[in-house]
Amino acid sequence: MVLNDAVRELLDGKNPAVLTTLNPDGSPQSSVVWVGREGDQVVISSTGGLRKVQNLLRDPRASLLVIDPADSGRYAELRGTVQVAEDAGREVAIRLAEHYEGDGAGQEYADLPAEVQRVVLRLTPTKVHAHT
């Protein structure tokens, strides 16, 4: 699915987002996340083994809500499927930290011990509802 310019602008900003996945019993599980965009895919970095990651490995369906904090009536909900992969070199974690918190903020992720696994979640939207 091709994202329109208004949705891309929301994803490219420093806007808060909420990722919702499905627990084993079918109930929703939501987490506040930082988001980035690679073309029309949304990327999120996470620590491996967290509930949202476990949920996505079992059931890749997810919903992402991105909200403009300056105008809460401006938002986009993206539904789709997520692929989970290693965040090689913690590249996505570092990029998102620096985008949201400024230059040098990604060093925290670069300095994590090797045993701390970072993963990248790639959301491919199949449905988008936007109020922009």
Provide the β-strand partners of residue 82: 123
Provide, rounded to the nearest whole percent, the portion of the chain with pLDDT above 90: 86
The SS3 call for residue 31 is: strand
Q: CA 79 to CA 39: how far, in whole Å?
A: 16
114 has a pLDDT exceeding 90: no
Average pLDDT, the chain: 95
Does a structural domain hold residue 132? no
Does a structural domain hold residue 36? yes
Does a structural domain hold residue 25? yes
For residue 12, the domain's CATH number is 2.30.110.10
Does a structural domain hold residue 50? yes
pLDDT tens digits, 20-43: 999 999 999 999 999 999 999 999
How many domains, the chain? 1
Q: What residue numbers bound the domain in which 13 lies?
A: 5-127
pLDDT tens digits, 44-73: 999 999 999 999 999 999 999 999 999 999
